[in-house]
Structure 1
């Protein structure tokens, strides 16, 4: 089969690789009909996430048709399914608490040891996202093996085309969980740093969960315009002082809740950002945390901080004093997709949530390397790339 594979920093190729096979009784094989490039994939593309190996198949946002099942799979051949990016067994201590992104069983033992060295505990497995998270081949391919297929995939009813439901795999539930983690109360103001795909879904979700006001912060005009369509007030951090603007917009209080949808690759010409870049280039640090520092400083006393943005290592100059003295509550983590997907599918089916607005580029799988370049370098116009295996590539 054909698949997008990682070969190093800024080196993604389309290779011919072996077809996946059933390895365990709960497995299923999915023929991919739609797959997407995620903002988190850019962290792999930029070389920030460790333990990638040349030839690893990328991709964790995908859906398709079931073509083969193991004897203990609950799926049936011919069903259309969306597959959560989190691989979860459904039976361990964490899965029983619906903390699916903390599953204890999906990541093989050798890779669990890597997580313990870095984070104190082993990571849950993810599709196409390094050997730290299991080394599972991803879904930017023609076919994929899905472990624990009786727990993860959600069956899509007839009449809902791919583009309406594809993002149930990751970014829609990630944006929803980001807003849900804010414990939004009546009258709350929520500020969202970053209007990429997750940030835009967080804006939409915050309003759905009852926010009175949402402030969207970015520097790409097109993305700010998309946030404004949902009713958000917008703030361009290149045109104003973000902290002072937020104080003015909230009567001097600061936002009730702040969402970091940026993560470890903060942008902007700021002193702390420049220092972080120097430290990363000299192996004295890893993550660029300007957005996180800024939102902790801006959040009101007693407020809430939600971190859906990916962080991978260590961050210097962390404002721990502000976090403690202001009594901020922090919730973070990879998304418990399986916990949210049924309700979100219902809302999509009933027309309460729209996801198709986000798609700016539709490309053949063979054009995937070009898709990575566009998504990396043209973030104002390129809001989301959806790849279609089997589609004829551009001339």
Structure 2
């Protein structure tokens, strides 16, 4: 089959690789009808995540048709149309039973490797390094889905692929980011990053009852899309973000802030942003937490900082003194997608949101390598890429 594979920093190829097969009785094989390039895939493209190997199949936003099921899988049958969560979860362990599916204790076969870096291992993920299981991803013609009697959600035929594909990751992630903000009605939420996850967070914040959303980015197309949803927009290259948010909130700060950027923010003129970039370039640091620092300072006393941007290692000079002395709450996670799927599918069916609004580019797998670069470089108005094998 054809698949997008990783061969080093900036080197993604459309290769021929072996077809997946059933390995465990709970497995399923799906024929991929739609998949997407995620912003977190760019961390792999840029060589930020460790433990990638040449030929690894990429991708964790995937849906398709079931073509084979394992002997123990009673939840799916051939012909079912499903969306596959990016988190691989057994459904039976301590964390899965409590709804913390992204903390699954059984799905990462390389948990010892992850524990050395993070203390304990999270769940395995599709197409996202051997640190997180070494699973082949879904930017391919076919995908093997472990624990397929727990993860995939069946979707009705009257909804298009474009409407439901993002249930795999960016819609639940953006929704969780807003959900973490403890929105009860009337809040002001500030969101750094107007990429796909940020766009979902903006709309989710309004759905949950936020009165105002302040969206921060520098890409005109992203800011325009945020404004179309009703957000007030700030270009971080044109204004002092802290001063602007304080002015908008009468000196109090946002009720909650969302970091939807993570480890690779754009470098700004601020001293800490430049130092972050230099440290990473000189292998003196692993992440660039400029956005997180700014979000902390822009959150009102006893507010919430919601973190869904991907960080991988140790963060330098995070202002914990500010957070502690002002009573901030931090909430963060890899998204336990399975927890949110039924609710979010229902919101789509009710017409409360159509996640397809974020798609700007559609193509076949063969165009994938070029579109990785287009997406990474923010060229051609690219906000979200959907591939159809």
TM-score relative to the length of structure 2: 0.98
**8 Å contact kept, 1:220–1:380:** no
**8 Å contact kept, 1:257–1:303:** yes
Partner of 2:207: 208
Q: 1:53 and 2:53 equivalent? A: yes
**8 Å contact kept, 1:223–1:380:** no
Partner of 1:393: none
Other structure's SS at 1:300 match: strand
Question: 1:271 and 1:137 mapped to 2: Cα distance?
Answer: 40
Partner of 1:257: 256
Question: 1:158 and 1:2 mapped to 2: Cα distance?
Answer: 26
**Aligned residue runs from structure 1 range 344-383, under 5 A:** 344-378=344-378, 381-383=381-383
Moved segments of 4+, more than 6 Å: none
**Aligned residue runs from structure 1 range 97-116, under 5 A:** 97-108=98-109, 111-116=110-115
Partner of 1:91: 92
Other structure's SS at 1:39 match: coil
Q: Which moved more, 1:11-20 or 1:273-282?
A: 273-282
Other structure's SS at 2:340 match: helix
Question: 2:120 and 2:383 mapped to 1: Cα distance?
Answer: 34
Question: 1:381 and 1:266 mapped to 2: Cα distance?
Answer: 18
Partner of 1:293: 293
**8 Å contact kept, 2:91–2:150:** yes
Question: 1:273 and 1:232 mapped to 2: Cα distance?
Answer: 25
Partner of 2:305: 305
Shift of 1:151: 0.3
CA RMSD, 1 decimal:
0.9
**8 Å contact kept, 1:221–1:380:** no
**8 Å contact kept, 1:123–1:132:** no
Q: 1:316 and 2:308 equivalent? A: no
Shift of 1:318: 1.1
Partner of 1:281: 281
**8 Å contact kept, 1:60–1:169:** yes
Structure 2 gaps, min length 5? none
Partner of 1:183: 182
Question: 2:161 and 2:216 mapped to 1: Cα distance?
Answer: 30
Once the two structures are superposed, residues 264-295 of structure 1 have per-residue CA deviations (whole angstroms, 9 ceiling, x without a partner) of: 00113232122112111221101011110001
Once the two structures are superposed, residues 27-86 of structure 1 have per-residue CA deviations (whole angstroms, 9 ceiling, x without a partner) of: 000000000000000000001111100100000001000000001111110111000000
Once the two structures are superposed, residues 78-137 of structure 1 have per-residue CA deviations (whole angstroms, 9 ceiling, x without a partner) of: 1110000000000100000000000000011xx111111111001210000001110000
Other structure's SS at 1:235 match: strand
Other structure's SS at 2:35 match: strand
**8 Å contact kept, 2:57–2:136:** yes
Structure 1 gaps, min length 5? 390-395
Question: 1:283 and 1:224 mapped to 2: Cα distance?
Answer: 33
Shift of 1:181: 0.5
Shift of 1:311: 0.3
Shift of 1:356: 1.2
Q: 1:82 and 2:80 equivalent? A: no
Other structure's SS at 1:231 match: coil
**Aligned residue runs from structure 1 range 3-18, under 5 A:** 3-18=3-18
Question: 2:364 and 2:15 mapped to 1: Cα distance?
Answer: 14
Other structure's SS at 1:198 match: helix
Partner of 2:238: 239
Shift of 1:185: 2.2
Task: Pick closer, same or farther for the CA change 1:350–1:189 going to 2, 3 Å.
Answer: same
Q: 1:165 and 2:171 equivalent? A: no
Count how many residue pairs are aligned between Structure 1 and Structure 2. 387
Shift of 1:380: 7.1
Question: 1:298 and 1:103 mapped to 2: Cα distance?
Answer: 33
Partner of 1:40: 40
Shift of 1:379: 5.3
**8 Å contact kept, 2:267–2:277:** no
Question: 2:316 and 2:172 mapped to 1: Cα distance?
Answer: 30
